[in-house]
Amino acid sequence: MDDGETLPGEAAQADSQPPSAVTSLEFVGAEVVERLRRQPGGRELLEMAKYRQDVYLVGGAVRDLLLDRAPRELDVALDGEDLSLRRDAAVFARELASSLNVLAGEDVTKVNEHERFITAGVVWDAGQIDIAIARREHYSKPGALPEVESTSISEDLRRRDFTVNAIAVGLGGSQLGKLQPARHALEDLRERRLRVIHDASFEDDPTRLLRLARYNARLDFAIEEHTEELARQALNTGALDTVSGARIGAELRLALSEPQAPDALEAMRELGVLAAVHPRLRHDPELVAGALELLPADGSKEVLLLAALVLPLVLRADGQPQAEARALLDRLEFPQGDRDRAVAAAVAAVRLHDVLPRCERPADLYEAASEDPIEGVALAGALNDAAEAARRWLEEVRHVSLAIDGRDLLAEGVPQGPEIGRRLHEVLLMRLNGELGEGRDAELAAARKLS
Ligand code: CTP
């Protein structure tokens, strides 16, 4: 659907008489099955489902195959209406894993089982297939995790977030290639539109507010008007306050890892999601674009975006500028390493954006920035008129190192202790400023002279 106008199969029929809706859907469904066959694990999945009426591909995988994009994982639902069949996601996952293992000739898969949600998953190097019994969900209170009960595929589709994520395709028996779209689903996919399935969707699961922004950016789908109104209403009535920080954080991390993460953050800002997470979170698209442009390949885009988000929190320099940002990232359950690096980067950006433009010599850059995360330097470069200094540090100066080390100085008779570090530091500054000749001998000679 590259041109955004047709679903697969529709173009092929353009010359013929207008097909009946059923024929057209069969066409589309058959194409989805063919595309599935080319995905990792797709052939094995279809083989297992061959004689079964109850196996469906659902959710994002169907959406992506219809859009001719590679799904991140394959989501399978087993129709759970006929309880006498005692459907079991774990049994299905284990069988699927063993057929993938037979193919690979070794045990390459990992099976995860989650009884509470009657789901199981198979993960291996090349892919991931998640299996669930089709279910209805009941939320004991807004924002709570749902209570689940098995049901039919069509009812399962109705509990989902957006129409384009609510299409099922049968994978076996007489259901093979049959599409079951939720109401409006195919039309919304064709029109590239995000629409909730029912009006209480964001109250049931407020993390969908963050998903809305993420899909808006990733798929470049517009948000349907009524859906946007519902989203703003939910935010205004504090829907996100009912959700744990961990769940909000998990969705935020997914957004940060998207290739279009800055757009997802912009959509969150625009909808008011960021302000609902914390009133002083900020996303400044121009700042972020400038900083990303400066960020070298060994930097982390996620850390940079996170640092930019919490920048206003560390700007308020009252004794403990980091405390509030750290507390927020802890509430959102960011891993400690990312939290510390993002906060350090934000603090560095605030300090460096003044300092960097005044750094005239490479050694000044070293003294200013050598202890700081590179994401902080990139942000500082974009914050002020400091892009050139930041680029010079990031691309050249930080890679300069000495050929000699502490052992060389020990061998020269310098006593063990801080003196070694002091001399190495001084020699490095000379090396950076171009005050030394080529090679280690010049460095050793300079170190000897320092006393
Ligand atoms: N879903 C939902 N509400 C949520 C999370 C998920 O309704 N809060 C449903 C959607 O139908 C979604 C499916 O569960 O398509 C699978 O969820 P997930 O794997 O998170 O999403 P995908 O659509 O597969 O998206 P992605 O491509 O990001 O994996």
Ligand 1: atom nearest CA of 159 is 7
Give the pLDDT mean for 224-236: 98
Q: Which of 5-9, 263-267, 322-326 has the lowest mean pLDDT?
A: 5-9
Ligand 1: atom nearest CA of 130 is 19
Place 80 in a pLDDT band, splitting at 50, 70 and 90: confident
Count of structural domains within the chain: 2
Can you give the CATH number for the domain in which 16 is found? 3.30.460.10
The per-residue pLDDT for 23 is 54
Whether residue 422 is predicted with pLDDT greater than 60 in this model: the reply is: yes
Ligand 1: atom nearest CA of 160 is 7
Give the pLDDT mean for 432-451: 90
Name which residue sits closest to atom 22 of ligand 1, judged by CA.
60
Among 142, 162, 191, the domain boundary falls at 191
Place 15 in a pLDDT band, splitting at 50, 70 and 90: very low
Among 129, 159, 191, the domain boundary falls at 191
Q: Which of 64, 160, 207, 257 to mutate to test the pocket of ligand 1 (most atoms within 8 A of CB)?
A: 160
Give the pLDDT mean for 6-19: 50
Tell how far the Cα of 60 is from the centroid of ligand 1, in angstroms. Answer: 6
Q: Show the ligand 1 pocket: residues with CB < 6 angstroms.
A: 59-60, 72, 75, 160-161, 165-166, 205, 207-208, 211
Structural domain boundaries, residue 415: 406-449
Kindly state whether residue 332 falls inside one of the protein's structural domains. no
State how far the Cα of 9 lies from the Cα of 298, in Å rounded to an integer. 43
The per-residue pLDDT for 70 is 93
Name which residue sits closest to atom 3 of ligand 1, judged by CA.
161
Kindly state whether residue 277 falls inside one of the protein's structural domains. no
Name which residue sits closest to atom 25 of ligand 1, judged by CA.
60
Tell how far the Cα of 162 is from the centroid of ligand 1, in angstroms. Answer: 9
Mean pLDDT estimate for the chain:
89
Among 191, 207, 242, the domain boundary falls at 191
Kindly state whether residue 172 falls inside one of the protein's structural domains. yes
Q: Which of 165, 202, 203 to mutate to test the pocket of ligand 1 (most atoms within 8 A of CB)?
A: 165
Kindly state whether residue 69 falls inside one of the protein's structural domains. yes
Whether residue 279 is predicted with pLDDT greater than 70 in this model: the reply is: yes
Kindly state whether residue 167 falls inside one of the protein's structural domains. yes
The percentage of residues in the chain with a pLDDT greater than 90, rounded to a whole number, is: 71
Name which residue sits closest to atom 16 of ligand 1, judged by CA.
59
The per-residue pLDDT for 18 is 45
Kindly state whether residue 115 falls inside one of the protein's structural domains. yes
Whether residue 9 is predicted with pLDDT greater than 90 in this model: the reply is: no
Kindly state whether residue 279 falls inside one of the protein's structural domains. no
Task: Report the 10 Å Cβ neighbour count for 96.
Answer: 24
The per-residue pLDDT for 341 is 97
Ligand 1: atom nearest CA of 59 is 15
Ligand 1: atom nearest CA of 208 is 8
Tell how far the Cα of 165 is from the centroid of ligand 1, in angstroms. Answer: 7
Kindly state whether residue 391 falls inside one of the protein's structural domains. no
Could you read off the pLDDT of 85-113 as tens digits, one per residue? 555 777 888 888 888 876 666 666 777 76
